[in-house]
Amino acid sequence: MPSLKAIKKRISSVTNMKKITKAMNLVAASKLQKAKGRLDNVRPMYSDIKDLMERIRAGISDDMDIPFAEEREVKNAAYIVLTSDRGLCGAYNALISKEAFAYVDGQNKKGIDEKIIAVGTKGRDYFRRRGKNIILRCEGPSEATSFTDAEALGHKVAEMYKSGEVDEVYIIYTHFESVLSHIPYIEKLLPLRTASSEDFDPGAHTMSYDPDPITFLEHAVPMYLNITIFGAMTESAVCEYASRMTSMDSATKNASDIVDDLTLEFNRKRQGIITQEITEIVSGANALQ
C-alpha cells in the first residue's frame, strides 16, 4: 500500500500534467481555428482548379503529344506523404503512415519501386524504420504551411516526371471532414488521365488555348500541382491540430479522473489512520482504568 506522502506526491504530479495538457489543448484549439479559416479560403481555389483540370483532361486524347499526360510503363513512382513534425496528436500520424505504407508496399509487389518525399518527421521516421527509399525529407511545413513549400515540391515532382525519373506521382494526405473525422486520401497527380480516342469528344468540351494546347498545359499543370499540394498541406495541418486538440482534451479528462481517484484513496487512507489512532487512544485509556 502506498503511503500518504506517495499518494500526495502523485496527485501533485498528475495535477501538473493536467495543466500542461490543458494548455496544449488551448494552443491547438487556437491554431485549429486559424488553420480552419485558411482551409475555408483555400478549398474553393483548389476545387476550381481541379474542376478545370478535369475539363481539360476530358479534352485530351491519346494522340495528343502532352508531356504530363504521357502514359508509359510504370517502373518508379513518387509518393508525397504528409505527416506532422511533432507527436501528441492521437492516431493522426499512425493512420496516414499505415495507409501510405500499405499502398506503397502493394505497388512494390507489382514491381514498382518507390521514391518517397516525406513531409514531416513522423512519416520520415516511419518509412526509414521500414527500409523504404526516402529521396527527400521536408521538415517544418506541417507547422507552417506556405505556398512556397508546395511550389518547391510541385517543381520537384514535375521535373522528376518530365526527366523520366518517375513514371507516376501520388500525394498521400489526410482529408479534413470534421474535428472528429479525418480520412486518409491517396491522389494520383501525374500522369494526367486522358480520354481514349473512342471516347474523346471535342464538341463536348470546347476550349480554346493560347497559343496552343501543349504550351498551355506546360504552364497550367505545374500550377495545378502546386495548388493541389498546397491544398493537401492545408488539409493535413487542420487535421493535425484537430487531432492534437481532441487528444489533449481526452488526456486532460483522464488526468482529472486519476486525480479524483487518488484523492478518494488519499482520504480513505487518512481516515483509516485517524480511526486507528483514535482506537489506540481509547484502548490505552481503557487499559489505565
For residue 262, pLDDT beyond 70: yes
- In 3D space, the residue among 138, 134, 237, 225 whose CA is nearest the CA of residue 187 turns out to be 225
Residue 255 banded pLDDT, cuts 50, 70, 90: very high
Residue 202 banded pLDDT, cuts 50, 70, 90: low
Q: Which residue has the higher pLDDT, 174 or 202?
A: 174
Share of the chain above pLDDT 70, in %: 88
Angle between helix 213-288 and helix 147-163 axes, rounded to 10 deg = 130
Question: What is the b/e burial string over 193-206, where b = at least 16 CB atoms within 10 angstroms of the residue's CB?
Answer: ebbeeeebeeeeee
Distance CA 179, CA 248 (A): 13
CB within 8 A of 238, min separation 6: which ones? 32, 35, 36, 39, 176
Q: Using only the alpha carbons of the chain, give its radius of gyration.
A: 29
Instruction: Tell me whether strands 76-82 and 168-178 are parallel, antiparallel or unpaired.
Output: parallel
**φ, ψ at 118 (rounded to 5°):** -90, 110
Question: What is the b/e burial string over 259-282, where b = at least 16 CB atoms within 10 angstroms of the residue's CB?
Answer: beebeebbeeeeeeeeeeeeeeee
- Please indicate whether residue 138 is annotated as part of the active site: no
Q: Among the listed ranges 2-6, 14-18, 263-267, which one has the minimum average pLDDT value?
A: 2-6
From 28, 89, 153, 245, the catalytic residue: 89
Average the pLDDT over 82-94 and give the result: 88
Q: How far is CA 224 from CA 40, 152, 202, in A?
A: 18, 13, 22
Indicate the average pLDDT of the chain: 84
Residue 239 banded pLDDT, cuts 50, 70, 90: very high
Average the pLDDT over 35-56 and give the result: 82
With contact defined as beta carbons under 8 Å apart, do 138 and 210 qualify? no
Average the pLDDT over 179-196 and give the result: 81
